[in-house]
Structure 1
């Protein structure tokens, strides 16, 4: 059966709680609309800005409105979704597994919270574990599809605002997570300040949305002809514009490295051979220069890593996610009932102020 063609006249809900989720789901929305499906957006929580919705994107403003619309599929680039809204729940992930989110020795990327009917995985490094978990739990399916977010990534973005064709310097992108324990932002401030004054590289800086405001303001104050601080809901053009990245343990480094571009990390948690990891702040500049030289041994390790993380470079991951979702809906496989999740669903009802059944 042509599961892509089955999209026509079906309803697809984008259930989001963070601003970066817009860019994750829009390539998928484009494929749905092109095939005659309907799309609506539901914004959950206070960390997602409705102003990022495009003029032609339709938002459902209440759970009652959502339930009346009755979506067939619900896409979630997050960890949880309430079971009291209709539709098959599909996890599409909000990032790659960076290995930093551990809870009592368990990697939270693989936490099964009983919310989803289908996990659409990004590549072999996550698919294998999720298949094992599916066999263990029995209430969800797993399909390796690639990540919809990256579909526009493998073609050049026109009129990229972060590129400067009149500047011949190499472009350094600095990204950081918000965790005080893991973030490079407070630890390398003096070094980055010096780089911004020296002007050896053109520097772009972008932080996790939850970065403390005092650190954000500190870096904004560094802006000059050599350094630009960027706030955006779509990091793909930013990643394309850079030649090398300086990062810590933020999962954004995994998106960057898929371009087959080197990444220098500072005190990375569990760094592999595909990264140029350093622990001495005074050696950051040397490491960046080394990465920019693209040594053959390093590039070979990066290629091997990318093949395991996300082997798809065809820009068709959204189509694979959509086909897998429609297959789940139409084949209705025999799965065990999901856990009732009484406490989690009570909390979500309270947050949404929704008490009807």
Structure 2
């Protein structure tokens, strides 16, 4: 198949890369990445994969399949347009918004499949296939890759546990303006090394504030690496707020602490005051109730830590083409067409 991996934001790199790996492994595929340069000025895979920042080149490539983790894709591109999602944040309303750009949705697990099947019955112009989430394949292959790096870090800092602070970038939802003193209290009172990993869209003033904190505190580390999944695998506990990374971490069967999450259904420990962090850290590590809640998330949100997600995705894409052929473009109303052209431009 002629495949486009549609990479609009930096976080999408890690979601799409397992599909590249699987396509190469299968053989017989022609894969081209679309990388939006204004959002990703230094594409880390630029010397490893075939890519372009030109929508015209994508159109001329005439793909049969386009995999998209973000919310929009140019309607006029040929190929089956497949939404593969950028996370598990079911409490965020835009997760369930149907923008009519996609021919099919590849869902992560039963919870999402039920929701999108109901929406498919309503809109009647897209299909739903449950495959799992592609980043899970990378996790499966690297569950123990970073064990030596983790042990070296802990030994260097004289700590026994590694915590990851990964907040959302959304100004209305983030814990960044409120939680700093709690994080300091945590590393000073507990046997914890703290890693700070922020979303690339986080406000620059918050980025700078926490970079300065890491420079001043020997047991707080700032990382620039785009691959948050690496640090999720390494960490023992994650601290966040209302971010889809919470679910990614729970799916590793590891405990999470959030600060004032807006999630209606909470499967982790949520605190209301930053100074509660040290006590919450001890509690969440051993409380059987939170272990049971994580099991529910794994079973319902994404039970596919089997290394076969991308294989299922490629199979499902082939099946769609076998039944429907390759769409030449997506039928949309004028507003959606305008939005698509405004964002990505026109083609010749």
What is the TM-score of this pair, normalised by structure 2?
0.91
Q: For 1:113, which of 99, 105, 130 is the aligned residue?
A: 99
- SS, match of residue 166 in structure 2: strand
Checking the alignment, whether the CA contact within 8 Å between 2:162 and 2:193 is kept in structure 1 is yes
Which 5+ residue runs of structure 1 have no aligned equivalent?
1-9, 102-106
Does 1:152 pair with 2:138? yes
Which residue, out of 130, 137, 150, partners 2:116?
130
Aligned to 2:251: 258
Partners of 1:313 and 1:352 lie apart in 2 by 34
Aligned counterpart for 2:338 among listed residues 337, 346, 350: 346
Q: Is 2:70 aligned against 1:84?
A: no
Distance in 1 of aligned mates of 2:342 and 2:179: 41
> Distance between the aligned counterparts of 1:253 and 1:275, measured in 2?
9
Aligned to 2:234: 241
Q: CA deviation at 1:81?
A: 0.5
CA RMSD of aligned residues (A): 2.2
Q: Supply the distance in 2 between the matched residues of 1:43 and 1:305 (Cα, whole angstroms).
A: 32
Task: Compute the displacement of 1:161 (Å).
Answer: 7.8
Helix, strand or coil at the partner of 2:151: coil
Q: Tell me which residue corresponds to 2:199.
A: 208
**2:265 pairs with 242, 249, 272, which one?**
272
* 1:133-212 matched pairs, under 5 angstroms: 133-155=119-141, 156-159=143-146, 163-165=150-152, 166=155, 167-198=158-189, 200-212=191-203
Q: Displacement of 1:51 after TM fit?
A: 2.6
Residue 308 (structure 2) aligned to one of 296, 303, 316: 316
In 1: Cα distance, 2:177 partner to 2:189 partner: 20
Q: CA deviation at 1:31?
A: 1.0
Query: 2-side partners of 1:188 and 1:129: how far apart?
Result: 34
Matched, 1:34 2:25: yes
1:316-338 alpha-carbon deviations (Å, 9 max, x no partner)? 11111111111101121899x95
Consecutive unaligned residues of structure 2, counting only runs of 5 or more, are none
How has the CA–CA distance of structure 1 residues 137 and 45 changed in structure 2, closer, same or farther, with 3 Å as cutoff?
farther
Q: Deviations over 1:114-158 (max 9, x none)?
A: 101110000111100111111221111100000001112134242
The Cα of 1:201 is off from its aligned counterpart by 0.7
* Shift in CA distance, 162/208, structure 1 to aligned 2, threshold 3 Å: farther
Q: Which has the higher helix share?
A: 2
Q: Distance in 1 between matches of 2:144 and 2:334?
A: 45
Q: Secondary structure at the match of 1:323?
A: helix
| SS at structure 1 position matched to 2:173 | coil
| Count of residues in correspondence between the two structures | 339
TM superposition shift of 1:280: 2.1
SS in 2 for 1:42: strand
| Corresponding position: 1:299 with 2:286 | no
Equivalent in 78, 85, 106 of residue 93 of structure 1: 85
User: Over residues 274-317 of structure 1, what are the superposed CA-to-partner deviations in whole Å (9 max), with x where a residue is unaligned?
Assistant: 2111112221211111112x222221121122211111121211
Contact 1:19–1:49, Cα closer than 8 Å, also in 2 = no
Matched, 1:228 2:221: yes
Quick check: 1:174–1:246 contact (8 Å CA) kept in 2?
A: yes
Please show how residues 65-84 of structure 1 align to structure 2 within 5 Å.
Answer: 65-84=57-76
Bigger Cα displacement from structure 2, 163-172 vs 230-239: 163-172
C-alpha contact 2:136 2:304 (8 A) present in aligned 1: no
Give how far 1:56 is off: 2.4
